[in-house]
Structure 1
Amino acid sequence: MGALADLRVIDLTQVLSGPYCTMLLADMGADVVKVERPGGDMIRSNPPFVDDPEAEAYGGYFQSVNRGKRSLELDLRTDEDREAFLSLVDHADVVVENFKAGTMEKFDLGYETLRERNPQLIYSSIRGFGDPRTGETHRQGQPSFDLIAQALGGVMEITGPEDGPPTKVGPGVGDIFTAALNAVGILAAVHHRERTGEGQYVDTAMYDAMVSLAERTVYQYSCDGEPPTRQGNSHPTLFPYDAFEAADGHVVVAAFNDRHWQTLCEAMDRPDLAAAYPATPDRLRNREQLRAEIAEWTRQQTTDDLVELLDGRVPVAPVQDTSEIFEDPHVHAREMLADVTQPGADDEMTVAGSPIKMTETNPRPRGRAPLLDEHREELLGDEESTGDRQRAESDD
């Protein structure tokens, strides 16, 4: 049993931010009931597929962030399905949605309505710009995606080469980081409820999350009045802390403290650099010259040679692609690749494992993603909460 095995979560979310949040909870053992609109989550049909898109129930996008959940298809515009949803809320611990502000109120299913049914309910929302209940702004109601959040929150402005345009971070951090923060908020609210019996509203905005993710830009601007901008792979206050070309790829080197710098200079057979630039301010003032010196040396070595030479003495790593990640023994030892059944395919699909590790209740993907409406009978015929069932089984 997972750490959250007594928690039932009603998941109204779709696409990435909300499903990733509830995936974290499901990996930790929560019973996550994915309530899907007619036709299901819009990303069910998104590629890639293991083999045959026509035969497989859904693609990798949906599988990855909806593993271990149960599915129920409901049309909240109808009285019958609205009542079915309310019957689930009566026995739920958490409701999560990522609609635009005001959407649930159109169905008369907003926080205040649900709280009347279940005073201990924790209602959580992930929106581009937050909810008026926690701070009203002119942006609320506007649609938002990862790209919008990264642009507004300052992440794109500090990402990319110095002489290039603002660049989106590869993974959807506007969605995923917001989702992780929302999961933290939900668990904090659960803890508060255990102490007080009070439910509450939890709200996480993608824009807010990106400001938090780019936290160093805030204090930098506060201190010097200059808005930080792109510096490629380097760091504004640390050097060397950068990516360097090798003979067969790239490595990153983080030798910014004095001891690591001295060791790097020894490996380069450049005692003159160690003597001339012994302290951080010296290296920062002369970073362009020093970067060129280091780059000339690394280009003459393979990535394996550089790692072998520096590993254990200077922080260094090769820049890996996904095929190399799949081959890395560390990734397998840490169970960061998980195989799940892919309905309609003859082979399994591999998804990212849980990065949260626990000694007694270790999180893990708990099975494949659900088929649309797969669990209707067991959910609508089940009036007892997951927590009640498991407590009864424990008593037995």
Structure 2
Amino acid sequence: MTGGPLDGVRVVDLTHALAGPYTCMLLADLGADVLKVEPPAGDMARRSGPFPAGDTMCAFGGYFQSVNRGKRSIVLDLKTREGVVALRQLVAEADVLVENFTHGVMERLGLSYETLAADNPRLVYAAVRGFGDVRSGKSPYLEWPAFDVVVQAMAGLMGITGTEDGDPIKVGPGIGDIYPGTMLALGVTSALYEARGTGLGQFVDVAMYDAILALCERIIYQHTYTGAVPRPEGNRHPLLSPFDILPAQDGWVAIAAPGDNRWRTLCDLIDRPDLGADPGLATNVLRVARRDEVFEALAGWTAGRTKDEILGVLGGQVPVGAVRDAAEITADPHVAARDMVIQLEHPGVSGTLGVAGQPLKFSRTPARPDTRAPLLDEHGADVRDGLARGRSAFARSGVAS
């Protein structure tokens, strides 16, 4: 893919699993030339599946395809001198390096930020780890390994997710990886922008813990402003009403109408003008205090109707949406109109298979990922040959100076 807003940016991707690969997938979607450097056994995500029926190669599954699309692959054994030398050659002409090793690994390999920046002063070196890097602030958990579920627990997300009287529940998607990865992509693009003027790169660090804490921003001001310690509240909102998941005959719907005008509109649409005229429910603050009553009134109306019937009455009038599964989402005309499921080739099967699309839309430099994930070392021979002959390993010239 060419022509995106990051066309010409050269990225060395040393990441594995989810957080780091997601960062580099975003950069690739936006047009960067991303060269994924893998160990001889490959990124462990290659073996994680799911694999489509009839796959004759099992080179990678849906997980790897989703977050490594649009990249190239080269195998380098960084435990050997030859591998380290080759990587330094690559980084010397790159704009960005991204890694998500545990703290200290790159230093032990002789590939620290300081070493690589001495080779290439314009380098933006980006790292995502569970608890950050000592250069940005030494966490007491610096040496702890981390996974999505761990940071969801530690940074507050799980502490406010669950039923009021139940156990904590993790958020379904791997948000403890994906959100830090997204934040790191923002950090990379910001550092690239700054480097256009100074000609100097810098170290960019995102801790998974920090990113999820930032995502949970509401619990911090609730605590510091009021002394409260927010707890799980099910599908309700502590500060807004109505803001609920309500039963339908064939599933569930979300209705959010905390604005006073929206509330009155909602009451008229469900033939309950008495609720809209009740002075004790006239403001959001009053409705929060009586939110059980508000919920019961709305549930009494939704429970006797299908999701489509509810959307037919409320759609376009108040914020409403059906709780949908993956099959319903992939059939949604919005998803088709916005290219939010993209079809990519998959080695070992005929035809194409879908993965989630790119939500960033640009009018002039569109981000349209259209290239599958690479086979292990698929581009290695060409890149190694180029390095031996003194040619650039990247498809396009860089943008930093």
TM range (shorter): over 0.9
| Compared CA separation, residues 369 and 388, structure 1 to 2 (3 A) | closer
| Compared CA separation, residues 388 and 282, structure 1 to 2 (3 A) | closer
Shift of 1:350: 0.6
Shift of 1:315: 0.8
**Which letter maps to 1:126?**
V
Map of 2:193 onto structure 1: 191
Number of matched pairs:
391
Alignment equivalent of 1:30, drawn from 29, 32, 35: 32
Map of 1:211 onto structure 2: 213
CA-to-aligned-CA distance 1:190-243 (integer Å, 9 cap, x gap): 011101111100000000001100001111111111111111111111000111
Map of 1:285 onto structure 2: 289
Of residues 290-299 and 377-386 in structure 1, the stretch that sits farther from structure 2 once superposed is: 377-386
Distance 1:239 1:151 in 2: 27
Map of 2:21 onto structure 1: 19
Of residues 342-351 and 169-178 in structure 1, the stretch that sits farther from structure 2 once superposed is: 342-351
Distance 1:365 1:255 in 2: 36
Matched, 1:39 2:41: yes
CA-to-aligned-CA distance 1:132-171 (integer Å, 9 cap, x gap): 0011121112100100110011000111111211111111
**Which letter maps to 2:322?**
P
TM alignment of 1:91-240, pairs within 5 A: 91-240=93-242
Distance 1:235 1:324 in 2: 26
Map of 1:338 onto structure 2: 342
**Which letter maps to 1:317?**
G
Distance 2:174 2:397 in 1: 37
Match of 1:381, SS state, is helix
Please say if residues 276 and 282 of structure 2, whose CA atoms lie closer than 8 Å, have aligned partners that are also in contact: yes
Match of 1:133, SS state, is coil
Distance 2:161 2:319 in 1: 22
CA-to-aligned-CA distance 1:43-69 (integer Å, 9 cap, x gap): 101121121355331110001000010
Shift of 1:390: 7.9
Matched, 1:241 2:243: yes
CA-to-aligned-CA distance 1:254-273 (integer Å, 9 cap, x gap): 11111111111112222221
How high is the TM-score relative to the length of structure 2?
A: 0.95
Distance 1:58 1:70 in 2: 14
Please say if residues 50 and 347 of structure 1, whose CA atoms lie closer than 8 Å, have aligned partners that are also in contact: no
Matched, 1:305 2:313: no
Map of 1:384 onto structure 2: 392
Map of 1:76 onto structure 2: 78
Please say if residues 55 and 349 of structure 2, whose CA atoms lie closer than 8 Å, have aligned partners that are also in contact: no
TM alignment of 1:338-357, pairs within 5 A: 338-357=342-361
Q: Which runs of 5+ in 2 are unaligned?
A: none
Please say if residues 36 and 71 of structure 2, whose CA atoms lie closer than 8 Å, have aligned partners that are also in contact: yes
Distance 2:123 2:393 in 1: 13
Match of 1:164, SS state, is coil
Of residues 133-142 and 380-389 in structure 1, the stretch that sits farther from structure 2 once superposed is: 380-389
| Compared CA separation, residues 224 and 389, structure 1 to 2 (3 A) | closer
Shift of 1:389: 4.4
Match of 1:10, SS state, is strand
Match of 2:204, SS state, is strand
Match of 1:291, SS state, is helix
CA-to-aligned-CA distance 1:323-374 (integer Å, 9 cap, x gap): 1111111111101111111101123221111110001111121300000011
| Compared CA separation, residues 390 and 81, structure 1 to 2 (3 A) | closer
Shift of 1:386: 3.6
Counting aligned pairs with the same residue, the percent is 48
Q: Which runs of 5+ in 1 are unaligned?
A: 392-396
Please say if residues 245 and 252 of structure 2, whose CA atoms lie closer than 8 Å, have aligned partners that are also in contact: yes
**Which letter maps to 1:14?**
H
How high is the TM-score relative to the length of structure 1?
A: 0.96
Shift of 1:385: 5.7
Please say if residues 95 and 398 of structure 2, whose CA atoms lie closer than 8 Å, have aligned partners that are also in contact: no
Alignment equivalent of 2:329, drawn from 325, 335, 340: 325
Match of 2:46, SS state, is coil
**Which letter maps to 2:305?**
Q
Please say if residues 23 and 65 of structure 1, whose CA atoms lie closer than 8 Å, have aligned partners that are also in contact: yes
Match of 2:26, SS state, is helix
| Compared CA separation, residues 385 and 39, structure 1 to 2 (3 A) | closer
Alignment equivalent of 1:296, drawn from 295, 300, 308: 300
Please say if residues 92 and 385 of structure 1, whose CA atoms lie closer than 8 Å, have aligned partners that are also in contact: no
Distance 1:389 1:158 in 2: 47
Please say if residues 26 and 366 of structure 1, whose CA atoms lie closer than 8 Å, have aligned partners that are also in contact: no
| Superposition RMSD in Å | 1.3
Distance 1:2 1:261 in 2: 43
Please say if residues 53 and 59 of structure 1, whose CA atoms lie closer than 8 Å, have aligned partners that are also in contact: no
CA-to-aligned-CA distance 1:117-138 (integer Å, 9 cap, x gap): 1111110000000000011121
**Which letter maps to 1:384?**
S
